[in-house]
Amino acid sequence: MSEELSRRQLLQRQLTGAVGALSGGGLSLSGGAAVGGVPAGFSGRAGSGKAKSVIFLYLHGGAPSQDMFDLKPKAPREIRGEFSPIATNVPGIEICEHLPRMARWMHRSAILRAVHHQAGCHNEIPSFTGYESPSGMQELTDNGLPPSMGAVCEYFKPAGRTLPAYVSLPNPLNVVGETGPGAGFLGRRYAPLESRAVPEFDAGAVLNQRPNPPVVRGIPRLEDSRLIDGVTSARLALRRGLLLGEGLRGAAPVQAEFSRFQEQAFGVLTAPELRECFDPGLIDAGVRERYGNTLFGNSAFMATKLIAAGVRFVNVIWTWYYGAYPGVADYGWDTHEHNFSILRSYLPQVDRVYSALLEDLERSGLLDETLVVLTTDFGRTPGVNQTAGRDHWMHCYSTVLAGAGIRGGTVYGASDAGAAWPVDGAVRPADICATIYDQLGLDPDSYVYDQLNRPHKIAQGGTPIWSILE
DSSP result, 148-162: PHHHHHHHHS---SS
Q: Work out the pLDDT band at 162, boundaries 50, 70, 90.
A: confident
- Residue 256: exposure state from Cβ atoms within 10 A (0-12, 13-18, ≥19): exposed
Contact 338, 191 (CB under 8 A): no
CA angle at residue 63 from 393 to 199, to 5 degrees?
135
d(CA 100, CA 323): 33
pLDDT > 70: percent of the chain: 76
pLDDT at position 321: 82
Beta strands in 42-190 (DSSP E): 53-59, 85-87, 94-96, 109-115, 166-169
Q: What is the mean pLDDT of residues 370-379?
A: 98
221-259 pLDDT, tens digit per residue, is 987 665 545 555 565 555 555 555 555 555 554 454 455
Establish whether the linkage from the previous residue to 170 is cis, with ω within 30° of 0. yes
d(CA 138, CA 319): 17
Look at residue 285 and give its three-state secondary structure: helix
Of 94 and 192, which is predicted with more confidence? 94
pLDDT at position 325: 76
29-77 pLDDT, tens digit per residue, is 334 444 334 455 655 566 779 999 999 999 999 999 999 999 999 999 9
pLDDT at position 138: 46
Q: Considering Cα of 159, then 162, then 163, then 167, what sign does the dihedral take?
A: positive
pLDDT at position 272: 82
pLDDT at position 180: 76
Q: Work out the pLDDT band at 25, boundaries 50, 70, 90.
A: very low
pLDDT at position 94: 99
Fold of the 31-225+278-468 domain: Alkaline Phosphatase, subunit A (3.40.720)
pLDDT at position 285: 96
| Lowest mean per-residue pLDDT among 246-250, 313-317, 350-354 | 246-250
Q: What is the mean pLDDT of residues 194-223?
A: 90
Q: What is the mean pLDDT of residues 357-367?
A: 98
Q: What is the mean pLDDT of the chain?
A: 85
Within 10 angstroms of residue 157's Cβ, the number of other Cβ atoms is: 15
- Residue 306: exposure state from Cβ atoms within 10 A (0-12, 13-18, ≥19): buried
Q: Model-level pTM? A: 0.88
| Lowest mean per-residue pLDDT among 78-92, 292-306, 318-332, 414-428 | 318-332
| Lowest mean per-residue pLDDT among 55-59, 161-165, 346-350, 370-374 | 161-165
pLDDT at position 207: 87
Of 156 and 351, which is predicted with more confidence? 351
pLDDT at position 243: 54
Of 345 and 451, which is predicted with more confidence? 345
Look at residue 8 and give its three-state secondary structure: helix
Q: What is the mean pLDDT of residues 69-91?
A: 97
